[in-house]
Chain A
Amino acid sequence: MHRKSVYRFMLFSLALVLLAGSAALACTMIPVTPGASADGSAMTTHTDDSGTDTFYVFMVPAKDWEPGSMLEVWKNTDDGPYTQLRDPLYSPGSIPQVAHTYAYTDASYSFQNENQVGMGESTIGGARELRNSAGWFEVVELQRIALQRAATAREAIQVMGSLAEKYGYCVSGECITVIDTEEVWLFEIFGPGALWAPGSERAGAVWIAQRVPDGEVSVSANRSRIGEIDLEDTDHFMASSNVYSLAQELGMWDPDSGVPFKVYETYGAKAYSPYNARREWRVLDLMAPSLNLSPWMERYPFSVKPDVPVTVQKVMEIERDHYEGTEFDLTQGLEAGPFGTPNRYPTSGSQNPEGSSGWERAISLFRTNFSTVVVARAGLPNWIGGLTWFGYDAPHSTCYIPLYCGATELPESFRVGMRGGSYDMFSRESAWWAFNFVSNWADLKYCYMIEDIKAVRDPIEEEFFAMQPFIEETALALYNQDPDLSRSFLTTYTNASATRVVDAYWKLASQLVGRYADGYVYGDDTYQRDSVGYPQAWMDGVGFGQSTIIPESGLVPGIDDIDQE
């Protein structure tokens, strides 16, 4: 081993133990292979759970570039406008541009291009000694450039990996799911450590990619998922050239120890926490209940074969999950409040009981910026086959909108607005605020208002799914006549769908404000105001009325007059 690496290995191991319970990151992804899905689609979900990111979403057109063109690299692009007041956009430099860039959907975490290459993201942290702020690339910029340049998932991985190796990677460990019509991959990337600087001969990042076996599904929930790797199996593994050497140099792995190299025990090392493991369990258990996976396993399999073929609706259902019906059900118990809210707002780690990681961490989170189900389908032209079901704000309260990757624009309301700060940022011009408002208001009386939300959302989503074959049949017919006509049609449909949902949510917001006020429920049909009070179980649990029981000692005699001189 490298000098002192044995000592560092000991420290590394110790640090893992001491870091137990300190994880506090976000985002969940569910990748589904074509062989595991009901219709042969490849899919990946993503919940952007930062709570601070920009919520702008817009289509970037394809473009040809003159030889010698340069591309400016940016940092902090995922930050929202308010966050950027504190951390402004910053460019460490420029890289050579390619001759042609593909059209793609740009967002805090850009998610699909016109070749049906799709992505999700989850911050996985990992070993802190890998961080090196001199790197040029944050993961969001790597995603963006890969979508501009890649025709396949493998190409996207190579673009991200090679750029990070050359120019350096500067943020904590990240996992990106990368899909195309045939393959589904998990790409995990980490920094190069302190002994790298731009221009040095060392690689500026270390990365590993593992393909999800066809017919199976996987999950990523803020911790590394890749274990042992076999780089001779090029169908299922890719990695940077330093994948073994850097781990040895940093004392994370000793090849002579007999212990196999595992990504999640080296670069991605993180102490066990239900914050991560519970979501892994939930996704895999809902996909393959026949496995009877324990919710308390330290590690879950990289991928499993689902019991039944997976549909888009199924993964949406999982994205909206709060462990309902399990012992971890967040809608139950005193902590859910009188109206069964699944939301648990952040608390300080120092408030956790000893040995606890705090609240259960649901897949659907109150602070989710947006969530997606990105779909890639073979047998269709890319512009029609590539489709992202997009939902603003918390998955449980959103309505998923079909955004075809062939669409050339989105409503203006998708790229305006900001949040945070003490001045007026709430805007009815911004689509995000409609969903965020509905979700927040629903927290006042969740068990009532989630039903109002479903009453608006479910019929719309059902109609989207019912119409999908006909929309695509029409788009295909147009494509065969003139691809541009097909694209125009998909743009119109995408925008009409988006606008319809946004309008419905603004109307829903007004309805909820009118219907639920001052603790009462106003009935649309009955014209009555119901005083619904509180559930008995909750009142019993909080000791309802105890403070107003007259003490056994009786009342203290009254005083008619008192001298207050």
Chain B
Amino acid sequence: MRSGKCFGLCLILVVGLLATVPALADDGEIPALSYPVFTTSAGQSADIITLNILVEEAGVGYDYCDVPDVEMLSTGVGLGGAVSGPGFHVEYMTDTEAYPVGTPFGTLIVVIGASLKGMGASGLTVEDEVARVESILAYCQENDVTVVAVHVAGYTGRGAPGSDNERMIDCVVPYADCLIVAAEGNEDDRFTVLAEEQGITLIEVEYALGLVDVLKTAFSVEE
């Protein structure tokens, strides 16, 4: 796993990478993020698949679960041996040579996107999902796990005030240490305002694909 091999920063490389990331907007700089990484969804939309593909493309190993709870998350890498089943999916892509099973997670990347179909497949209502997401984000906050909130669905993945998507944004952002959003989904500056209010970094990428370079930088991935 490439992500494991590059652990330990090379300052020159970071500077070089920063200079070659045109997809990055100037809104803010991504804070250095630490391994191991856990990915999940707030709202169970298909955007989690996009996120995982982009994280993988960035060369960042990760563990994934669509509907984790605090107990599972607290077991660290390997998620306590959880296995996929109906309405429950896990994926293990962490380099366990560098980060053995049980290593506490350093970063949680959560993609925001509500899908009634997705929640239904997991047997969740919107209220269930909000409560579940808030509980794992609170755990992260209490245990110094950096929370990166991502929105890549663009304009069509937003929705009117009060919509499920907006509820997920309101649920996740208060716990986020950093926001990464595709520009089309921030045309109304909703995320800009939220980031300013919370004093957190907002990274605006033109398209979801821009997330790859952002993550390479944040995790100091060697090209």
Contacts and interface: CB of A to CB of B under 8 A. Distances in A.
B163 A86 contact: yes
Contact of A131 (B46, B54, B91, B93): B46
Contact of B154 (A24, A133, A194): A133
Contacts of A19: 121
Contacts of B47: 133
Contacts of B57: 194-195
A129 B91 CA distance: 15
Interface string B94-128: 00000000000000000000000100110100000
Interface string A340-352: 0000000011100
Nearest to B1: A4
A22 B184 contact: no
Interface in B63-110: 84-87, 89, 91, 93
Contact of A86 (B117, B160, B182, B210): B160
A349 B56 CA distance: 32
Interface residues of B, number: 35
B117 A22 contact: yes
A170 B159 contact: no
A156 to B, nearest CB: 25
Interface residues of A, number: 33
Contact of B208 (A7, A15, A132): A132
Contact of B209 (A75, A85, A197, A349): A197
B49 A350 contact: no
A75 B155 CA distance: 10
A87 B159 contact: yes
B207 A350 contact: no
A86 B175 CA distance: 27
B53 interface: yes
A515 B209 CA distance: 61
B117 A133 contact: no
Nearest to A349: B120
A194 B49 contact: yes
A7 B182 CA distance: 28
Nearest to B155: A90
B157 interface: yes
B56 A129 contact: no
A197 B210 contact: yes
A134 B183 CA distance: 10
A201 to B, nearest CB: 12
Contacts of A200: 209
Nearest to B212: A195
Interface of A: 4, 7, 11, 14-15, 18-19, 22, 24, 75-76, 85-87, 90, 92, 128-129, 131-134, 170, 193-198, 200, 348-350
| In the complex, the 4 A-B pairs of residues with the closest C-beta atoms, listed nearest first | A197-B207, A197-B209, A194-B53, A194-B50
8 contacts: A90-B155, A128-B46, A129-B50, A134-B184, A134-B208, A194-B53, A194-B208, A194-B209
Given A18-B84, A131-B50, 17 more contacts: A11-B91, A18-B87, A24-B117, A92-B155, A92-B184, A129-B50, A129-B53, A132-B208, A133-B47, A134-B182, A193-B53, A194-B208, A194-B209, A197-B207, A197-B208, A349-B121, A350-B120
